[in-house]
Amino acid sequence: MAIKTFTSGEVLTAADTNTYLANSGLVYITGGSLSGTATQFVGCFTSTFTNYRILLEQGTLSAAGDFCFQYLKSTTAQTTNNYQYAYARLTSGGAGANTTAVAPIGRWGMGANGLTNLMTMAADVIYPQVAASAAYVTAQGTSLLGGPVYLSSDGMCVYGVNDSFDGIQFMGSGGQTITGYVSIYGYRKP
């Protein structure tokens, strides 16, 4: 579709608006509050989209640990040791650390490093529904945690087996109670 340029005095029609909205980049899929020790977002990954953006606002853990995730098949969390992750942390005080692991839970730069307040987190999840391809499900994200020292964390996670998923659940690394709000968007295909 060619981009239409409007000039002064022209009327923006409902058809023009619908066309521009239908061709927007991110499409809201679902969202909700985190609560308890795990919160699931079932059915958020579909064949409509290939790639997704996940945002977490004002997330907290009831005790020190890491925000983690597991992919879902229906409501069943995938708990095998197929999550391979790595992330780098840097504090506002200048201290840094790197973490790598193969585990039954995934992380993409969400490590709390002894902090309980995750201020913000954004991550892209690529190919959660593309098991037929040679590509693994990957995620890459960044987070900013709060005080008394602020911590930035950037990382990636690869599900190291060719598989497909239709949802995701969030939890703490040690069974902590979690709070916050998650929004999940799909990247519109060209």
Contacting residues for 130 by C-beta, under 8 A, at least 6 apart: 50, 137, 164
Q: What are the residues facing 5 on neighbouring strands?
A: none
Q: Which residue has the higher pLDDT, 16 or 174?
A: 174
pTM, rounded to two decimals: 0.85
Q: What average pLDDT does the segment 108-116 reach?
A: 62
- Report pLDDT for 129: 86
Q: What is the mean pLDDT of the chain?
A: 85
Which has more pLDDT, 145 or 15?
145
For position 12, what pLDDT does the model report? 75
Q: What's the pLDDT at 65?
A: 78
Q: Which two tokens stand for residue 122?
A: 């954004």
Could you give the residue ranges of the DSSP H alpha helices within the chain? 14-22
Query: With the C-alpha atoms ordered 182, 78, 164, 126, is the resulting torsion angle positive or negative?
Result: positive
- Confidence check: pLDDT of 19 > 70: no
Which pair of structure tokens corresponds to residue 189?
A: 């295909």
Residue 1: is its pLDDT beyond 60? no
Please say whether the beta carbons of 124 and 51 come within 8 A. Answer: yes
Q: Which residue type is seen at 139?
A: A
Which of 13-17, 24-28, 158-162 has the lowest average pLDDT? 13-17
Cα distance from N-terminal residue to C-terminal residue, the chain: 11
The partner residues of 91 in beta bridges, in order of sequence, read 151
CA distances from 48 to 44, 74, 90, 91, 137 (A): 10, 17, 37, 39, 16
Say yes or no to pLDDT of 134 above 70.
no
